[in-house]
Amino acid sequence: MINIAVCGATGYTGYEIIKILLRHPKAHIKVLTAKLDKPTKISEEFPELKGKIDLACEELVVNHVLKKKVDLVFLALPHRVSMEYASRFIDKGKIVIDLSADFRIKDVKVYEKYYGQKHIYKDYITRCVYGLPELYKNRIQRTRFVANPGCYPTGSILAVAPLIAKKIAAKDTIILDAKSGATGAGRKAALGLIFGEVAENLMAYKVGVHQHSPEITQELSTLAGKEVDILFTPHLVPIRRGILTTAYVSLNKKADLSSLLRLYRSFYKNAPFVKIYDEGLLPQIHDIVNTNYCGIGLALSLDKKKVIIVSAIDNLLKGASGQAVQNMNLACGFPETMGLE
């Protein structure tokens, strides 16, 4: 049994972490923190939790959290805010699962360009493992500091990783056309997120400049052993949760679908949360919503030289909180799927 603090408990990802941990046989939530005008029980903010957990959300003060003898801290804080807290909990020997982007990007200059501010805890970046278990399970099992991947990168990287790792993709630009539900932007008051603006609307946004673009590039390039060129276009669609990513990859040579599917199944044979779809089938959001699964399906162009890959994840689970608990399981030596099925 480990004792846990969830910092940022009233956001969508904090809330989902709490719901998972309540079903987790080895987890005990000791502390919840949130930015609120006054101490508020979490069950007042989310009535569904009433009778299940009645902790009050307190202001995040590191020493207060340490006094509660927690073993592990989930940081579901805004980018840039997370940085300081992560470093301080690490210094005190806590296991930290950081859901922000602050330690995902290895190249500080790239981070500073895309997130628009100085990184003042550079030394911690190298101590941190990028928490995509399908690529880095062994390293996550040995770390105490995980940078939990972004939601878009999770869907995009899982969609194309086998082609990159196996050197089957041509050097052409990889197109990643991603469609995300509105909770991906967080639980915050913003004009662009209100129902009247989002419902019955579709838009592409931050084309070419989205902060998840360098994260995807970094991971795919690492996997390829050379720079991989991607074109990532996020879209906002009127669903609450889910990301569907349609990836377009040119191949080195003609392929057949059954070989590609075999390749994918083999690549993900130790990945309990990846489901490869049979020929002719593609994942939909309904298949994976409210689960930690990533569904992946493939189709070929008529000339068999391009492959279209569709991946589907729940942005709040495999794209955030579910993956965070998956990382906790690995870092703590629990079964990878514990509490997540």
CA dist., res. 102 & res. 81, Å (int): 9
| Residue indicated by tokens 């480990």 | 2
Interface with a copy of itself (CB under 8 A), residue from 91, 112, 172, 279: 172
CA dist., res. 70 & res. 96, Å (int): 11
User: In the range 175-194, which residues lie near a copy of itself by CB under 8 A?
Assistant: 175, 177, 179, 182-183, 187-191, 193-194
CA dist., res. 246 & res. 43, Å (int): 38
Interface with a copy of itself (CB under 8 A), residue from 26, 144, 197, 221: 197
The reply to whether 229 sits near a copy of itself by the rule CB under 8 A is yes
Of the pair 84, 197, the CB lying nearest a copy of itself is at 197
Active site residues: 151
Interface with a copy of itself (CB under 8 A), residue from 99, 285, 294, 340: 285
Q: Can you give the C-alpha Rg of the chain in angstroms?
A: 20
The reply to whether 226 sits near a copy of itself by the rule CB under 8 A is no
The reply to whether 237 sits near a copy of itself by the rule CB under 8 A is yes
The reply to whether 163 sits near a copy of itself by the rule CB under 8 A is no
DSSP, residue by residue, 112-148: HHHH-S--S-GGGGGG-EE--HHHHHHHHHT-SEEEP
Amino acid making up residue 323: Q
Q: Are 9 and 76 in contact (CB under 8 A)?
A: yes
Judged by the rule CB under 8 A, the positions of this chain that interact with a copy of itself are 12, 46-48, 50-51, 172-173, 175, 177, 179, 182-183, 187-191, 193-205, 207-208, 229, 231, 233, 235, 237-242, 244, 246, 248, 250, 275, 277, 281-291, 295, 299-303, 306, 308, 310, 312
